[in-house]
Structure 1
Amino acid sequence: MDANAFQSLHTTVLWAVFAVAAIFGALAQRTHFCTMGALSDLVNMGDSTRLRMWVMAIGVAMVGFHVLAGLGVIDASKTIYFGGRIIWASALVGGALFGFGMVLGSGCGSKTLVRLGGGSLKALVVFFVMGFAAYATLRGITAVLRDRTVDRVAFEMRPGSTLPAWLAQQLGWPAETALLVVGCGVGLALMAWAAASADFRRSADAWLGGVGVGLTVVAMWAVSGWLGFVPEHPETLEPVFVATQSGRMEALTFTAPLAYTIDWLIYFSDANKVLTLGVVSVLGVVAGSAAWALATRSFRWEGFAGTRDTALHIVGALCMGVGGVTAMGCTIGQGLSGVSTLSLTSVLALLGIVAGALAGFRFQIWLLERD
């Protein structure tokens, strides 16, 4: 592949990423797909419909990822979630901090982008504060703290941190067999649990949100790992995944990409700052959400109710930025994209997020009781 063909592919990949992210944004706006909302519905009202929609999305993404990997369309070992080092302390602590923050900030990173597309100025503040905190935790003062504390607590898991890879080694199965049997088996079980509720089965939005969002994750794996994979870069002559920040296969995630989006906006005139999958995903979600909100006349400007509301959202955004980078992902990056690979680190991060969210709900109740 020559340099011109490589640049053309780079552009094609970015447009494909934008389209998938825009669909995600429109779906999330249409169906109110939200991890915090799903947990809130269950805790406060005993309604599991949105939780089942979220689990359905995980199941669909998991089956799709492992079918693609099992058939050799993508290489499961080339994701950012496959490495053999299990940073369990980072996953649990960072996940808990993120979960607590998303309750105070009225939603996770993806929900912030969806709300921003719908006209929320509160979400705009959360976007910039969360992006700033994420950048600091990637390269700044909290990055030093993260590196010197929780990131040093880990253990090794060979040949990789995913369940199919581990079982293939333990049972002597071919890698492709383990991917298809284990990945599809767990994914189908999750889908069956989600569909077991009569309330879920009667809800068109639940089906649309669960299956639709899950398929956007699968589509992003295909775009990054198949369409965007070049066996030989025209300059370095090494394999490359086009337009990725990490140099590995990526899917939807919304913590570090907020930081990279702010960085790209600030240094726009710098020729070295090019668009990446993460940055275009952020722009696509906002565009898709805005398009749906405007088309359905549900676009509404929204501001803060007062000083405490502002303070809680700023603190929540700071917690999400620090926690999301520490845990290597958010409710979408770890809770959906990561878990779809059956990565142990992703599962631990998801458990931390849920625990942090439950603590956040208790904190909100305490504030109400104090008032």
Structure 2
Amino acid sequence: TLVRLGGGNLKALVVLLVMGLSASMTLRGVTAVARDASVDRWVLTLPKAQDVASLTGWPWIGLAVALALAAWALGLRGERRRIAWGAVVGLVVAGTWALTSRLAFVAEHPHTLEPAYLGTVSNRPEALSFVAPMAQTLEWLQFFSDRSRVLQLGIVTVLGVVLGAAAMALWRREFRWEGFRRTDDLVFHLVGAVLMGVGGVTALGCTVGQGLSGVSTLSLGSFIAVAGIVAGAVIGLRVQMAWVNR
């Protein structure tokens, strides 16, 4: 959606605004109360960290899975370009983990005199994510004059994707304005934006935050979230097809 906005798609702007508002409400607003009183109460305490390597006791399982997937992907015909770009995205995720866990770490913050990870909201290592950062971007734009509001990793990522997509669209002469033409199209986009905002915060990430950044740590919770994302996509597509057939 951010890439589409960079290409001049006004539908993407509406989606991002509604998604950011819904995410903000789910972080600290009306739906945050419902989230805290419902799904946040369902907690499973594990004996160890939730990554598969810790749970199984196999420290090299990540490397084994990566090599197996790479061998399978390289065997696909006609997909080399997508595989190459997928590898680039994976390297960006790994690089972001390295950036926030190594270069952004300070043993003594000048204000708090405590260890800190600069440029992160959670004060922990972070990687790419887009739902909660959309809410943070809207808040940063609204309270820009408040000097306590500083740029964070998520905000910079959101702005960078939009500006990068716009630059690429202009360079390739593919930039064009596009808006809504049908009421049902608007309704689908608005409903989807709300579901993304609420669901992305509730699941602690979206297809990027959980599907890429989370799975890259072999987090059990991320695999569960991805399974839910796939199931939701299948249901959403079937609902849309039924709507079109009507």
Scaled by the length of structure 2, the TM-score of the pair is 0.97
Residue number in structure 2 paired with 1:292 = 168
Residue number in structure 2 paired with 1:90 = none
Matching residue's letter, 1:258: M
Residue number in structure 2 paired with 1:140 = 29
Once residues 100 and 170 of structure 2 are traced to their aligned partners in structure 1, the CA distance between those partners, rounded to angstroms, is 30
Query: Among 262, 274, 290, which residue is 2:138 paired with?
Result: 262
Query: Among 211, 222, 237, which residue is 1:346 paired with?
Result: 222
Once residues 288 and 227 of structure 1 are traced to their aligned partners in structure 2, the CA distance between those partners, rounded to angstroms, is 24
Query: Among 150, 173, 189, which residue is 2:39 paired with?
Result: 150
Residue number in structure 2 paired with 1:361 = 237
1:208-255 CA distance string (max 9 Å, x none): 321111111111111111111112222322211111001110000000
CA offset at residue 207 of structure 1? 2.8
Query: Among 35, 52, 63, which residue is 1:184 paired with?
Result: 63
1:124-152 CA distance string (max 9 Å, x none): 00010000000000001111111111111
Matching residue's letter, 1:123: A
Matched residue count: 246
Correspondence 1:131 to 2:20: yes
CA offset at residue 167 of structure 1? 2.4
Once residues 200 and 256 of structure 1 are traced to their aligned partners in structure 2, the CA distance between those partners, rounded to angstroms, is 32
1:318-343 CA distance string (max 9 Å, x none): 01000000000000000000000000
1:180-216 CA distance string (max 9 Å, x none): x111111222222222211223xx2x13321111111
Cα RMSD after superposing both structures? 1.1
Structure 1 stretches of 5 or more lacking a match?
A: 1-111
Once residues 94 and 118 of structure 2 are traced to their aligned partners in structure 1, the CA distance between those partners, rounded to angstroms, is 17
Once residues 182 and 245 of structure 1 are traced to their aligned partners in structure 2, the CA distance between those partners, rounded to angstroms, is 30
Question: Secondary structure in 1 aligned to 2:79?
Answer: helix
Question: Secondary structure in 2 aligned to 1:156?
Answer: coil
Is contact 2:129-2:213 (8 Å) kept? yes
Matching residue's letter, 2:17: F
Correspondence 1:228 to 2:104: yes
Residue number in structure 1 paired with 2:5 = 116
Matching residue's letter, 2:153: L
Once residues 344 and 164 of structure 1 are traced to their aligned partners in structure 2, the CA distance between those partners, rounded to angstroms, is 10
Identity within the alignment, %:
55
Matching residue's letter, 2:234: L
Matching residue's letter, 2:39: V
Residue number in structure 1 paired with 2:203 = 327
Correspondence 1:303 to 2:179: yes
Scaled by the length of structure 1, the TM-score of the pair is 0.65
Question: Secondary structure in 1 aligned to 2:244?
Answer: helix
Correspondence 1:159 to 2:48: yes
Q: Which runs of 4+ in 1 moved over 6 A?
A: none
- Structure number with the higher helix fraction is 1
Query: Among 280, 283, 291, which residue is 2:159 paired with?
Result: 283
CA offset at residue 316 of structure 1? 0.6
Correspondence 1:212 to 2:88: yes
Residue number in structure 1 paired with 2:77 = 198
Once residues 256 and 249 of structure 1 are traced to their aligned partners in structure 2, the CA distance between those partners, rounded to angstroms, is 15
Is contact 2:18-2:190 (8 Å) kept? yes
Once residues 188 and 231 of structure 1 are traced to their aligned partners in structure 2, the CA distance between those partners, rounded to angstroms, is 35
Q: Which moved more, 1:187-196 or 1:324-333?
A: 187-196
Once residues 42 and 72 of structure 2 are traced to their aligned partners in structure 1, the CA distance between those partners, rounded to angstroms, is 34
Question: Secondary structure in 2 aligned to 1:198?
Answer: coil
Matching residue's letter, 1:278: G
Once residues 215 and 297 of structure 1 are traced to their aligned partners in structure 2, the CA distance between those partners, rounded to angstroms, is 28
Matching residue's letter, 1:138: L
Question: Secondary structure in 2 aligned to 1:294?
Answer: helix
1:246-283 CA distance string (max 9 Å, x none): 11100000000000000000000011111111111100
